[in-house]
Amino acid sequence: MYGCFAPPYFPHTIIKQLHKGNLIANSCLSSLLRLFHRYRDLALQLVPMDYTNQPEVRLPYELIGSMPELKDNPFRQRIAEVFSEDGEGNMTLDDFLDMFSVLSEMAPQDLKAYYAFKIYDFNNDDFICKSDLEKTLNKLTCNELTEDEVRMVCEKVIDEADLDNDGRLSLEDFQHMIMRAPDFLRIKTI
């Protein structure tokens, strides 16, 4: 489809030329290259330098989840699943780039909110229902809360954020709620 990572151009030749011509001003391009290298470093034997032919390379979730950015994240599996094409956490280069793009600080709020919704929507039914909330809570607190407490928190969350009273959170409810969160605005990560 697109041979953006073709060998003669990419990365050495192009980058050198870009540097020569003072063209590297576009730091986005360089960070894209950096990401490509990070992706490749995860599994050097799997990922070729040549992406001209769009090889079907998928890195397994075990490799993705062991990256320092995700290693300690309770939702790492979920994040990988959401961004991967096959829904099982095995990522192509595209998926990988997508993930880092959304997790970046520069990504706009609503994009982040949308993906946050997808991440918390464990059963992929486009609604955050009680079972999703329970899973989220148990992941967040390492199962430290009792069942009663978890149930109560779930009820409270739905009671607070559910605008249309259908007992679960739609994307719109979620956005309405999360866009007002001080932490979400400040930290600017999902």
Which residue's CB is nearer to other proteins, number 62 or number 144? 144
* In the complex, minimum distance from the CB of residue 110 to other proteins, in angstroms, rounded to a whole number: 7
Do residues 57 and 47 make contact, with C-beta atoms less than 8 angstroms apart?
yes
Which residue's CB is nearer to other proteins, number 44 or number 142? 142
Which residue's CB is nearer to other proteins, number 75 or number 122? 75
Which residue's CB is nearer to other proteins, number 45 or number 66? 66
* In the complex, minimum distance from the CB of residue 106 to other proteins, in angstroms, rounded to a whole number: 4
* In the complex, minimum distance from the CB of residue 158 to other proteins, in angstroms, rounded to a whole number: 9
* In the complex, minimum distance from the CB of residue 65 to other proteins, in angstroms, rounded to a whole number: 13
